[in-house]
Each structure stands twice: as structure tokens, then as C-alpha cells.
Amino acid sequence: MTVELSRHDDLVLIKLNRPEALNALSFAIIKEIGNAIDEVATSDARAILITGEGEKAFCAGADIKELRNRSLMDQKRGAELGQSVFAKLNAAPMPSIALINGYAFGGGLELALSCDFRLASPEAKMGLPEIKLGLIPGYGGTQRLPRLIGEARALEMIMTGMTVDAPEAELIGLVNQVVEGNLLEAGKTFASRMTRFSLPALGFARDAVRRAGETSLSEGLKCEAELSTLAYQTEDAEEGMDAFEAKRKPEFKDA
């Protein structure tokens, strides 16, 4: 298998294991990633970590050989496959964290952008270089990158195909943190800051924040009111408020 799952306490690590090709994405691997996300999404895991095998690459992008000599409809279906698989991370009930351990180019960066958070090693380099091939990103990069770092910076990255190193990526908000030392352990520590909370509440919060980049302020506030109302209806909300009043640690049940 080129996509491996491993359990780390209450976390699940999805690892792309194709180091000889810098963990490049074939269509078969994209489908494997989708199956892995589906499996984790229905488990009792509290967070998803995603990384690549080896020290050189998180994921160097699409397998270019597969993109040649395909029909118009096949090209469209390929883009839709990548988009639908990466969107599974947005729909998963637990947060996701990309551990960018090296190159993250093209589809590899788009995979990382689909995660809720991104941590990077100091040696990591990121970019959407499709323009250099006469192409544009097709797995969500043109939509997620400007929402994350702003339109002007996203346009610069996409229209020049420039590479961004880890310190600059942190500066512009492309990654949450540059990690000196063990990236997996840092990912576990980062995840532990939220895994003790209610998964439904985390999901409501994530959905509300995402609406901020997709709608007007007035519509976003309506969405926030609806989602916060739903949060109040959960058993975890009752437990959280009871625990606060009793001055004890809450025991959330994700219900």
C-alpha cells in the first residue's frame, strides 16, 4: 500500500509511502487517500495527521505521466476526483493536521491546504508550480489558498509558480508553525490542544469560521447564531456548563 494508516493513542496518522517518487499523487493514490479518510472518519480517532514518507517530500504533486494524452472529460474527472477526495477532510468529524516534512508542491500543497492546520519542518518548501507547465491548480488550490493567505499573495504564488520556504510560509499564514525537531511529536502536541474538547463543538466552530470567507458578515452572523444554537442542544454543552459550575474537568462524550 502506498497510503498507510497507523494509530497513535487517540490520533491516526495517514502517511503517503512512495518516497522513490517523492510521494507523488497518482489517481490510484488519491483514491487510497479517500479510502483512508473514510476509514478514519468513522473511527473513534480524535484527530487526523497527514505526512509523507522520508525526509525529502510531503508530496511533490501529481504524477505528470498520468496527466498526458487524456480526453477532455477524463481531465475534468481527474480534477473532480482530487477535489472530492480532499474535501473529505473538511467533512470529517475530527480536525486534520498536515505535517509538511519536505517538498509540498502542486497537488501536495493542495492536500495540505485541505487540512485544518499545517505544521512544517524548517526545510519544507511549498508552491503551486502548475503555471510553469501551462496549467493551473485543479485540486482546490485556486480556492483554498486565497482564503488562507489573501488574494494578492495567492495570485503571486499561483501566477509566478514561486516556491515559498517554511519561514516565509509561517510569516504569511500558510503554515501555523515551523517545527524544530520531531515533526510527528509536534503534531501530536498540537492536536492535544483540541482533542480533549467535544468533537461536535469543534465541528460547529470550524464550519462557522469557514463561512466567514464564503459569505457576507450579516449572513455569517446568521450562520454563527444557528450553529451556536445547535451546540447548546448537545449533551456535551450540558456537561461543559455543569463542569464549569462544579469547578471540575468536563468529560465530553461527543454527543
Q: What is the pLDDT of residues 194-220, one digit of tens each?
A: 999 999 999 999 999 998 888 889 999
* pLDDT score of 1 more than 80: no
Q: Does residue 187 sit in the same domain as residue 90?
A: yes
The whole-number pLDDT of residue 146 equals 96
Q: Does residue 131 sit in the same domain as residue 218?
A: no
* pLDDT score of 155 more than 90: yes
254 within some domain: no
* pLDDT score of 134 more than 80: yes
39 within some domain: yes
12 within some domain: yes
Q: Does residue 57 sit in the same domain as residue 141?
A: yes
Query: CA dist 134 to 129, 156, 159, Å?
Result: 10, 16, 11
Contact between 126 and 100 under an 8 Å Cβ cutoff? The reply is yes
Please say which residue of 174, 195, 216 terminates a domain: 195
Residue position matching grid coordinates 510527528: 184
253 within some domain: no
Return the CATH number at 227: 1.10.12
Q: Cα 124 from chain centroid?
A: 16
Paired sense of beta strands 11-16 and 3-8, if any = antiparallel
Distance CA 194, CA 212 (A): 21
Q: Does residue 139 sit in the same domain as residue 203?
A: no
255 within some domain: no
Q: What is the mean pLDDT of residues 32-48?
A: 96
Q: Does residue 224 sit in the same domain as residue 125?
A: no
The whole-number pLDDT of residue 65 equals 80
Give me the active site residues, please: 110, 130
Secondary structure element (H or E) that encloses residue 67, with its range: helix 64-67
Could you tell me the pLDDT band of residue 4, with boundaries at 50, 70 and 90?
Answer: very high
Q: What is the mean pLDDT of residues 48-67?
A: 90
- Model pLDDT for residues 85-128, shown as the tens digit of each residue: 999 999 999 999 999 999 999 999 999 999 999 999 999 999 99
Q: Does residue 203 sit in the same domain as residue 183?
A: no
Q: Does residue 86 sit in the same domain as residue 169?
A: yes
Q: Does residue 98 sit in the same domain as residue 213?
A: no
Could you tell me the pLDDT band of residue 50, with boundaries at 50, 70 and 90?
Answer: very high
139 within some domain: yes
Q: Which domain holds residue 116?
A: 3-195
Q: Does residue 233 sit in the same domain as residue 149?
A: no
The whole-number pLDDT of residue 191 equals 96
Structural domains counted in the chain: 2
What is residue 21's DSSP assignment?
Answer: G
Distance CA 5, CA 111 (A): 16
Q: What is the mean pLDDT of residues 32-42?
A: 96
Q: Does residue 147 sit in the same domain as residue 80?
A: yes
Q: Does residue 133 sit in the same domain as residue 221?
A: no
pLDDT over 90 for what percent of the chain? 89
